[in-house]
Structure 1
Amino acid sequence: MRAIRLYFRFFVIQLKSMMQHKASFFFTVLGQFLVSFNVFLGVTFMMERFHEVQGFTYPEVLLCFSITLMAYTLAETFFRSFDTFNQMIGNGEFDRILLRPGSCIFLVLCSKIELTRIGRLLQAAVMLVYGVTKSGIIWTPMRAFTLFLMILGGTLVFASIYIIFASICFFTLEGLEFMNVFTDGAREYGK
């Protein structure tokens, strides 16, 4: 319970920090929305031309796309600090974390919460609702639970990749761009 209160406190601090520059926050959220909206338009135009992809209809493709986008966005929102871990080691910020009481992993997790990804998360939610309602799938509680587990599992997979990236940073600080193949590449593959 103490960890949840502490995480919420870090969350509020990050939110207040971002709200110091409201215009920057708004335009970053808008930019995140527009970048993923561009990909959505690409999928829409492709599906207008071909109508289905290996038996999958437009709503079903959007459902798959929204699940992947939501999982990646949740991981990037809450686990982004592990993606920038090499900078924490390089500038000595991790040394300060080692001196603080508490779990180092928890403190690294709390050090950066990327709330500007809300635009992408909003788009993923809208596409998910559209895909769920228009896909023709008969939704039962078990299928809804499976959908929830798909999003949670995808988030944990992307978060695990970020944590693996952070653990490799103890051995080398530079040249870890290959990890983007797994994070950004997996997100693009899901589209």
Structure 2
Amino acid sequence: MNNFFLYLRYISISLKSQMQYKVSFLLQVLGQLLGTGIEFFGIWALFSRFNSIGTWTLSEVALFYGMVNISFACADALGRGFDSFGRIIKNGDFDRLLLRPRATVLQLLGTEFTLKRLGRLSQGIAVMWWSLSTLHISFSIKILWLLGTSFIGAIALFLGIVIVQATITFWTIESLEIMNILTYGGVETAQYPFSIYTKWFQRFFTYFIPLACVSYFPLLAVLEKQDTFSVPLWFCYVSPLAGILFLIVALQLWKLGERYYCSTGS
């Protein structure tokens, strides 16, 4: 509980600092909103030309789009400390974190809570709300469970990917941009149903990086289309746990990376 209240204190300080320049903050939020809005406009243009992708309609794809953008906006806001870890390593600032009597993971999570991600978050919520209302999906216990676990699992997965990226920095010093294939590239991938991709691509994002488990299978059950991917219905209800397991593994790798940290030598 002490760590929890300390984290809330970190967040409070971060929010106060970001709100010092309110016009800049509003412009950043607006920029995020317009940027993600253009992305969905591209999807709408695609469907206006071809009407559907296989058996998938715009309303159904909008559900995948909304969920992954909501989850990624939250994960990106929480994990900015890990995302900028390369700079912390090069400046030797990680030594200061190690001297404090708190876990480094807690300190990095509290480095910055990026409030400008509200733009992507609000746009994702609007698209998902439109999808659910257009498809006439009512909020039953079953639907709330599927949407809630998908949301939590996806946040855990994206946080885990960012932590793995930061862990690799212990050895590479520079943050590897190739990891953005799994973060921003993963968001682009999960905006569409996984059934449209080739088999090897589906397997990679199911067994190695469980993106399909957190953002695709639960929503198949919401849409009652689980037969599309030939998975049992019960699996759709538990598959988001793969995101939490991925985060646990990432945290263990982080502990391993800390043991090999050699400081800057300055």
TM-score normalized by the length of structure 2 = 0.69
Where has structure 1 moved over 4 Å in runs of 4 or more?
none
Give the fraction of aligned pairs with identical amino acids, expressed as a percent.
35
User: 1:43 matched to which residue of 2?
Assistant: 43
User: 2:217 matched to which residue of 1?
Assistant: none
Q: Deviations over 1:96-155 (max 9, x none)?
A: 111111111111111121111111101111111111111244543112211111111111
- Of 73-82 and 51-60, deviating more is 51-60
Looking at structure 1, the residues matched to 148 and 59 of structure 2 have their Cα atoms a distance apart, in angstroms, of 18
- Of 49-58 and 176-185, deviating more is 49-58
Looking at structure 2, the residues matched to 33 and 143 of structure 1 have their Cα atoms a distance apart, in angstroms, of 27
Report the secondary structure of 1:174's partner residue: coil
Q: Pairwise mapping of residues 24-173 of structure 1 onto structure 2 (< 5 A)?
A: 24-173=24-173
Q: Letter of the aligned partner of 2:35 in structure 1?
A: V
Looking at structure 1, the residues matched to 144 and 60 of structure 2 have their Cα atoms a distance apart, in angstroms, of 15
Looking at structure 1, the residues matched to 13 and 78 of structure 2 have their Cα atoms a distance apart, in angstroms, of 14
Q: Letter of the aligned partner of 1:96 in structure 2?
A: R
Q: Deviations over 1:23-61 (max 9, x none)?
A: 111111111111100001111111222222221221111
Q: Deviations over 1:78-113 (max 9, x none)?
A: 112111111111112211111111111111111121
Looking at structure 1, the residues matched to 149 and 180 of structure 2 have their Cα atoms a distance apart, in angstroms, of 24
Looking at structure 1, the residues matched to 165 and 158 of structure 2 have their Cα atoms a distance apart, in angstroms, of 11
Looking at structure 1, the residues matched to 175 and 126 of structure 2 have their Cα atoms a distance apart, in angstroms, of 37
Unmatched tracts of structure 2, length 5 or more:
192-266
Structure 1 residues 119 and 187: CA distance shift in structure 2, 3 A: same
User: 1:190 matched to which residue of 2?
Assistant: 190
Looking at structure 2, the residues matched to 53 and 136 of structure 1 have their Cα atoms a distance apart, in angstroms, of 21
Looking at structure 2, the residues matched to 103 and 174 of structure 1 have their Cα atoms a distance apart, in angstroms, of 23
Find the structure with the greater CA-based Rg. Answer: 2
Looking at structure 2, the residues matched to 26 and 139 of structure 1 have their Cα atoms a distance apart, in angstroms, of 32
Aligned length: 191
User: 1:9 matched to which residue of 2?
Assistant: 9
TM-score normalized by the length of structure 1 = 0.95
Q: Letter of the aligned partner of 2:38 in structure 1?
A: N
| RMSD, aligned α-carbons | 1.3
Q: CA deviation at 1:175?
A: 5.8
Looking at structure 2, the residues matched to 66 and 6 of structure 1 have their Cα atoms a distance apart, in angstroms, of 32
Q: Tell me: higher relative CO, structure 1 or 2? Use CA pairs within 8 A at least 6 residues apart.
A: 1
Structure 1 residues 137 and 44: CA distance shift in structure 2, 3 A: same
- Of 158-167 and 134-143, deviating more is 134-143
